[in-house]
Structure 1
Amino acid sequence: MSTETKNIVVLGASFAGLAAAHNTLKHVLPKLADKESYHVYLISSSPDFYWRVAGPRAAVSAQLMPDDKVMYPIAPGFAQYDSKQFTFIIGTVKSWDTGARSVTLDTAGGQQQVLPYHALVVATGTRTPTPLLSLHGTSEETKAELSRMRTALNSAQTVLIAGGGPAGVETAGEVGELLNGSPGWFGSGPKTKKATITVVTADSKLLPALRPALAAKAETFLSRVGVDVKKNVRVDSAAPAADGKTTVTLSNGETLTVDVYIAATGVKPNTSFAPSHLLNDRGYLTANGQTLRVDGAGPRVYALGDVASYARGGVMDIYDAAPVAMTNLERDLSAYSPDKPDATPAGPDRTYTANLKETQLVPVGQSKGVGAVFGWKLPSLMVWLIKGRDYMVSNADSIVGGSKWAKESSWKPTDS
C-alpha cells in the first residue's frame, strides 16, 4: 500500500466549504481502504465563519444581532478530527495551476505556500458589493463595517439601498423599522416618519424570484416602516461626498445625496485565482451540472456552492449539491491507483438536479415577511417564525461544528 500523502484541498470555509470538509472527514475518508494516506486541508481568508444570513439585522443593531451571533471561529469545530488528517490554513488563494495540480496561497503569516492536491473542492463562493453582507477577506473588515454602519444609521435622515432582491429588501426592512419604528400589526405606515428611506431596483418589481403577488406584499410591508420603492431604475454611480454623505446618480438622471448608501445589488464570484479557461462569461467556475466535477481542470476537481456555474445560489442549493459532490469524490478516490491516476469509477455517478420550485423566505422588519417553499406560499407569520425572528442563527453552530452532517446522505446507484 502506498505511503504517499494525498492532499484533499477545500478552498473556502463558508457554507459550501464547511460542508465539504466535514463530509470528507466524517464520511468519505472512512470508506477508503487507504484512508490513513489522505490529508484534508481547509483554506479560508478568515478565521471566522460569517452567518451572512443575518447580515441585514446585524448591520442595523448590535443589540438585536451582536457580533458573536454572526461570527463563529472555524478552528474549534474541527478539533474533533485527528490532526494527522486535517489542517486549517488561514490564507488567500492567489493562483491555481491545473497542470501541476497545485494552488498557491498567501498565508496570514505573510508567507507564500504552494500546496499540491490529489483532489480539490473549489467552494470560494461569491461576494456582495459591501462587506456588510459577505466577507471581504477576514472577518475583521466585516466587523468594522458593521460597526461603522450602525453608527451612521443612528443619525441618518436619508438612506438609499440599491437592489430589490432579498438582501436589499431585508436590509431596507431592518433600517426602516430601526429609524421609523413599526406601526404595529395592523398599521399601514409609521406613526412618525423620521427618515426618508428608498430602495431602487432595476427590475419592474421587488424579489424577482418570487411571484408578483408576494413582491407586492413585500412592498406593502416596506411601506409600513416608511420605505419607498423606485422600480425600473438602477444606480449608475455612488461617490462619497466631503461631508461623509454619498452622492448617488440614478439611471433616470436623478441625483441624490444621502446620509447612508448601502449597495445590495448582487454578487460576483470569488474566482480571481482561477485560470480563465475554466470560467464562464460571468466569471463563474464552469462545472458539470450533473456530477459537479470541473471537467476542464483534470481528475478529482469539484465546484461546490455559489462559485459554480450550475448553482442557483443560496444555502438550500448548497445543501442539495454537497451530497452529490461528496459521493462522486469518494467514488473517484476509490477508483484511483498510482498506475492509473486518471481512472474513472465504474457505474453511474450520483447526479445533481436543481430545485427550480419557488423557494425563498424574506423577512421584512422584525415581525413581517413574505416567502414560498417548493412553490407553496407561506403566510407572513410563518416566514417570521422560520427566519424573521433571529435569521436562523441557532443553525450556525451545527454548520461550523459539523453536526449538520453527522448523518451521511444515503445514495444507491439506482437512485440516479
Structure 2
Amino acid sequence: MSKTVVVVGASFAGLAVSHRLLKYTRQKEKNLRVVLVSPTSHFYWNLASIRAVVPGLIKEDQIFHPIEPGFSLYPKENFEFVYGSATSVDTDAKTASVAAPDGEKTLKYDYLVLATGARSANDDVPWKPLGSHEETVQQLRDTAKKVGAAKTILVAGAGATGCETSSEIKHKYGADKDVILLAADAEVMGGDVLASNMEYEMKKLGVDVRKNARVASTEVLADGRTEVRLVEGAPITVDLYLPTMGLKPNTGYLSEKLLNENKYVEVDEFYQVKNAENVWACGDIVSKPRAGFMITDKQAAGVAKNIELVIQGKAQLPVKLLPVDALMCAAGRDRGAGRIGNVKVFSIMAWALKGRTLGMPWAPKYVDGTQW
C-alpha cells in the first residue's frame, strides 16, 4: 500500500523536504508518493532580492527556476506536482483542498507537511514571492525600474533586508542617489552583535542611517512621491519608499487550532504540528527560533527524517538545529558584516560566504535536489 506525503509549499522548506523524501526515504519505502503543491511554477531565490532590485546586476534566470523539471529524475509513480494554492486542510479527514487553474482539487494524505512560508508585511515589495511566478517577476521588474528612476530612496526597517538593500543601492549609484535607512530601534539589526560593523559598512558607502525613527504612516502624493510620517519628528518626502519590516505567515488556509497567537504554526520538538496527527511544519511558516535560510534547511532535514521514522513505526527524534547561530549580511558587492555565534567575522569572510554571490549558485541545486 502506498504512503502519500502531501507537501504544501515549494520554496526552501518544501523543496528540501520533498527531495529528501524522494532521494532517501523512497529507497527504503518503494511505495512512497510525494505530492508537492505550489502556487507558483518557479522557485524564487529571494535571498538575492536585495540585489535584484538594483537594475542591471542580476539576470532573472539566476534567481527564478522552474520547479517541476527538477523532479524529473524520480519515477512518475512516486511524485506529482500540483500547481495551485491551498485553501483548507482537514486534519480529521486527512485532506488538503487546493485551488488549481482547472478547478478545486481535494488531496488525500497519509502525512502532511506545511511549508507555505511567509510573505512580506507590505505587498508592494518583492522580498518574498507575491503569488504566481508572473506576478513576482513583474513586481521585481517594477521595483528595479523605480529604483533606477528615483533620486531619493527611503528604506524603512533596519533588519538584514533593509541594511542590505540600502547598501546595494548605494554601492551601485554612490552620490547619484540619496539613500535613507530608518531604524525603529536605537541600533540597526535590532542591536545584534554585528550591528556596529554593519552600520560602519553602510555609512562608509554613504547611507544616511537614522535611528529611533519609526514609521507611523505613508501617503503617495499627487506628484508620485511618497510622504513618510514618523511617530516622532518631521515627515520625510522621497521619490521611492521601500518598506522591509515584518513578515506575515501564509496560514490563512489553516484552522486556528493549529496556530499560535501570531498566526504561525505551533510545533513541538519534532516539528510535528500540535493538535494534529501526522502533520509537520517547517520554514518561515514556523519561524522558530527565527526565520532563516540555514535554519529552514535543518528543520526540513529533521521533518523528512521523522516522517520516515513514523512510516517505519519508530519513535521520532527531536529536530536538531544549527549548533551555533550564524548571520551574514552583504554590504554591497565587495564587503559584508557577520557573526558566528557572538563572534564577529572579518568583512571579507562575510563577503565570501554571502555577499559575493548571495548563494545564487545553490538555486538550481535546490530545484533539482543535488543540494542534498
Q: TM-score range by the shorter chain?
A: over 0.9
Aligned to 1:155: 149
Please give the alpha-carbon distance, in whole angstroms, between the structure 2 residues aligned to 1:394 and 1:283.
33
Aligned to 1:295: 274
CA deviations on 1:13-38 (whole Å, 9 max, x unpaired) are 11100001001111112212xx32x3
User: Is residue 238 of structure 2 the alignment partner of residue 258 of structure 1?
Assistant: yes
Determine helix, strand or coil for the equivalent of 2:283: coil
Aligned to 1:79: 72
Please give the alpha-carbon distance, in whole angstroms, between the structure 1 residues aligned to 2:343 and 2:114.
33
Query: Number of residue pairs matched?
Result: 370
- Cα pair 1:280 1:309 within 8 Å, conserved: no
- Cα pair 1:7 1:39 within 8 Å, conserved: yes
Please give the alpha-carbon distance, in whole angstroms, between the structure 2 residues aligned to 1:391 and 1:309.
21
- Cα pair 2:225 2:240 within 8 Å, conserved: yes
User: Is residue 311 of structure 2 the alignment partner of residue 333 of structure 1?
Assistant: yes
What letter is aligned with 2:312? S
CA deviations on 1:24-78 (whole Å, 9 max, x unpaired) are 111112212xx32x321101111010111100000112x3111111101111110
User: Is residue 288 of structure 2 the alignment partner of residue 310 of structure 1?
Assistant: yes
Q: After superposition, where does 1:242-281 map in structure 2 within 5 Å?
A: 242-281=222-261
Determine helix, strand or coil for the equivalent of 1:135: coil
Q: After superposition, where does 1:10-29 map in structure 2 within 5 Å?
A: 10-29=7-26
Determine helix, strand or coil for the equivalent of 1:252: coil
- Cα pair 1:210 1:371 within 8 Å, conserved: no
User: Is residue 64 of structure 2 the alignment partner of residue 30 of structure 1?
Assistant: no
User: Is residue 302 of structure 2 the alignment partner of residue 320 of structure 1?
Assistant: no
Please give the alpha-carbon distance, in whole angstroms, between the structure 1 residues aligned to 2:102 and 2:230.
42
Runs of 4+ off more than 6 Å: none
Please give the alpha-carbon distance, in whole angstroms, between the structure 1 residues aligned to 2:74 and 2:219.
48
- Cα pair 1:210 1:358 within 8 Å, conserved: no
> 106, 114, 118: which one pairs with 1:122?
114
Q: After superposition, where does 1:86-97 map in structure 2 within 5 Å?
A: 86-97=79-90
TM-score, with normalisation over the residues of structure 2? 0.95
Please give the alpha-carbon distance, in whole angstroms, between the structure 2 residues aligned to 1:313 and 1:24.
23
Distance 1:388 1:353, change over 3 A: same
Displacement of 1:217 in angstroms is: 2.1
User: Is residue 345 of structure 2 the alignment partner of residue 392 of structure 1?
Assistant: no
- Cα pair 2:221 2:227 within 8 Å, conserved: yes
Please give the alpha-carbon distance, in whole angstroms, between the structure 2 residues aligned to 1:376 and 1:327.
32
What letter is aligned with 1:245? R
Displacement of 1:356 in angstroms is: 7.1
Displacement of 1:310 in angstroms is: 3.0
Percent of aligned pairs sharing the same letter: 34
Name structure 2 gaps, 5 residues minimum: none
Displacement of 1:209 in angstroms is: 6.6
CA deviations on 1:329-367 (whole Å, 9 max, x unpaired) are 0111122xxxxxxxxx3x5x2112444744110011111
Displacement of 1:241 in angstroms is: 2.3
What letter is aligned with 2:369? G
Determine helix, strand or coil for the equivalent of 1:404: coil
Displacement of 1:243 in angstroms is: 2.3
- Cα pair 2:125 2:242 within 8 Å, conserved: no
Please give the alpha-carbon distance, in whole angstroms, between the structure 2 residues aligned to 1:110 and 1:239.
39
> 317, 336, 350: which one pairs with 1:350?
317
> 28, 34, 58: which one pairs with 2:52?
58
Please give the alpha-carbon distance, in whole angstroms, between the structure 2 residues aligned to 1:251 and 1:174.
27
- Cα pair 1:198 1:227 within 8 Å, conserved: yes
CA RMSD of aligned residues (A): 1.6
CA deviations on 1:362-409 (whole Å, 9 max, x unpaired) are 01111111001244321111111221112121111111110111xxxx
What letter is aligned with 1:14? S
What letter is aligned with 1:112? E
CA deviations on 1:149-199 (whole Å, 9 max, x unpaired) are 22212221111111111100000001112222xxxxxxxxxxxx3322111
Please give the alpha-carbon distance, in whole angstroms, between the structure 1 residues aligned to 2:320 and 2:181.
34
- Cα pair 2:34 2:79 within 8 Å, conserved: yes
User: Is residue 187 of structure 2 the alignment partner of residue 205 of structure 1?
Assistant: yes
- Cα pair 1:287 1:309 within 8 Å, conserved: no
Name structure 1 gaps, 5 residues minimum: 181-192, 336-344, 406-416
Farther-moved stretch of structure 1 (94-103 vs 309-318): 309-318
Farther-moved stretch of structure 1 (20-29 vs 239-248): 239-248
Aligned to 1:138: 132
Please give the alpha-carbon distance, in whole angstroms, between the structure 1 residues aligned to 2:220 and 2:134.
22
What letter is aligned with 1:195? K
Please give the alpha-carbon distance, in whole angstroms, between the structure 2 residues aligned to 1:271 and 1:28.
28
Determine helix, strand or coil for the equivalent of 1:208: helix
Q: After superposition, where does 1:391-410 map in structure 2 within 5 Å?
A: 391-405=358-372
> 33, 52, 63: which one pairs with 1:39?
33
